């Protein structure tokens, strides 16, 4: 597992550094900009928001900034207080969380499907096309570690108090974390005679992270649900999945041409080509997501497959008008049970696993190059 961690993180680090050196940067789409300092190119897009919240607080760009949950910026702030730059500390934080996430995913997969599937699952996660976000100043690595750690504590350790604490931290990192109530309650129900009624208190801890953030928003801004209403800033609105699918297909058809024009995609000074191309890329990832969700109904315990289905439904129910499946490839990275499914499927064939890792790494290199040069990926 340490080898997988080191090889994958070094791969994306080297690709990112080469891309910054060789490719011209695009003009940033708007404020905030990435913080100055070492490894600043790993703090593009949302990373710039997290860095600014960590240094200036939510008031600087309120209320839009409240869409970003507080735990990651709080941890960033701790490193900044110790004298480290936001980008450098953010990368260190994400790398540490990635190592923990790989450990938890391995142990969960080993418990469910055996050691061979566990090795495949960690490889699939570490070299997933959007796994470069696990190096970046983003919440992906932290949320992945906390959510997988919560399920590991419940499923492998049978420690619901620890599971609930990790779940609460996950819910303070992203709103999806509150859904961890489902697999934790399921584990308590399966072993309720052994665990006893008092251990149910651990499950009840999970919403505490979200509730604490809501209490802060109520005290500071007078609206505990401000984080939800601010999704409109990115054009998101509650929409029927069938409408989202139609919008996604139409947007993908318009943007697909850019995937066949690499010189424009990687060299144009505007981020517009990458934004348009992302719609076509998102449709490819949606196809993969649906296939894995279907397989999860067979390969995962009901509570884990339900958690994954609900987590995947959130972006499908709240599309953006211009980019209907915006950020879907990145959101998939945070749904760790998808990689349990991938590991179980691909561990059956070394050839299939090798082909998957080769294709995923090649796609990941291209997407990393786009991201670090201020071009949109997810």
Cα–Cα distance between 196 and 34 in angstroms, integer?
49
Nearest to 268 by CA among 131, 157, 374, 116: 374
Global pTM?
0.96
Chain centroid to CA 320: 18
State pLDDT tens for residues 48-69.
999 999 999 998 788 899 999 9
Distances (CA, A) of 112 to 106, 152, 341: 10, 11, 10
Largest separation between any pair of C-alpha atoms in the chain: 63
Mean pLDDT by 10 residues, the chain (378 residues): 95 98 90 84 95 91 92 96 93 98 99 98 99 98 99 96 98 97 94 86 96 97 92 82 90 91 94 94 97 98 96 90 92 98 97 98 98 96
The tokens for 111 are 């418990």
The residues spanned by each domain of the chain are 2-236+327-372
Long-range contact pairs involving 240-243 (C-beta distance under 8 Å, separation at least 24): 241/313, 241/316, 241/317, 243/319
Q: Are 122 and 343 in contact (CB under 8 A)?
A: yes
State pLDDT tens for residues 254-276.
999 999 999 999 999 998 999 99
Query: Based on the number of CB atoms within 10 Å of its own CB, is 81 exposed (0-12), middle (13-18) or buried (19 or more)?
Result: exposed
């Amino acid at each position: 597992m340490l080898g997988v961690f080191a090889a994958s993180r070094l791969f994306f680090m080297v690709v990112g550094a080469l891309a910054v050196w060789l490719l011209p940067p695009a003009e940033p789409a708007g404020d905030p900009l990435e913080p100055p300092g070492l490894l600043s190119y790993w703090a593009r897009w949302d990373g710039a928001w997290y860095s600014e919240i960590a240094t200036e607080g939510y008031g600087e760009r309120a209320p839009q900034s409240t869409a970003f949950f507080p735990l990651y910026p709080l941890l960033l702030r701790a490193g900044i207080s110790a004298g480290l730059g936001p980008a450098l500390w953010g990368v260190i934080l994400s790398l540490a969380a990635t190592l923990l996430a790989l450990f938890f995913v391995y142990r969960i997969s080993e418990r469910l499907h055996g050691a061979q599937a566990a090795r495949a699952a960690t490889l699939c996660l570490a070299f997933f096309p959007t796994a470069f976000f696990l190096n970046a100043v983003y919440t992906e690595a932290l949320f992945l570690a906390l959510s997988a750690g919560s399920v590991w504590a419940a499923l492998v350790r049978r420690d619901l108090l620890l599971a609930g604490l990790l779940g609460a931290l996950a819910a303070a990192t992203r709103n999806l974390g509150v859904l961890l109530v489902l697999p934790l309650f399921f584990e308590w129900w399966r072993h309720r005679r052994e665990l006893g009624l008092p251990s149910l208190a651990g499950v009840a801890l999970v919403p505490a992270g979200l509730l604490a953030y809501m209490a802060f928003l109520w005290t500071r801004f007078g609206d505990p649900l401000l984080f939800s209403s601010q999704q409109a800033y990115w054009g998101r609105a509650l929409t029927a999945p069938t409408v989202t699918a139609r919008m996604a297909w139409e947007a993908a058809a318009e943007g697909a041409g850019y995937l066949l024009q690499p010189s424009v995609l990687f060299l144009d000074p505007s981020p517009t080509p990458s934004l348009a191309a992302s719609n076509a890329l998102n449709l490819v990832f949606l196809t993969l997501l649906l296939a894995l969700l279907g397989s999860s109904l067979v390969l995962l315990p009901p509570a884990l497959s339900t958690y994954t289905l609900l987590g995947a439904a959130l972006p499908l129910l709240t599309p953006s008008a211009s980019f209907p499946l915006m950020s879907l490839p990145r959101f998939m990275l945070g749904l760790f049970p998808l990689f349990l499914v991938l590991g179980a499927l691909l561990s059956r064939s070394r050839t299939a696993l090798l082909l998957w890792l080769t294709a995923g790494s090649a796609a990941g290199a291209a997407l990393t190059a786009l991201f670090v040069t201020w071009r949109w990926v997810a």
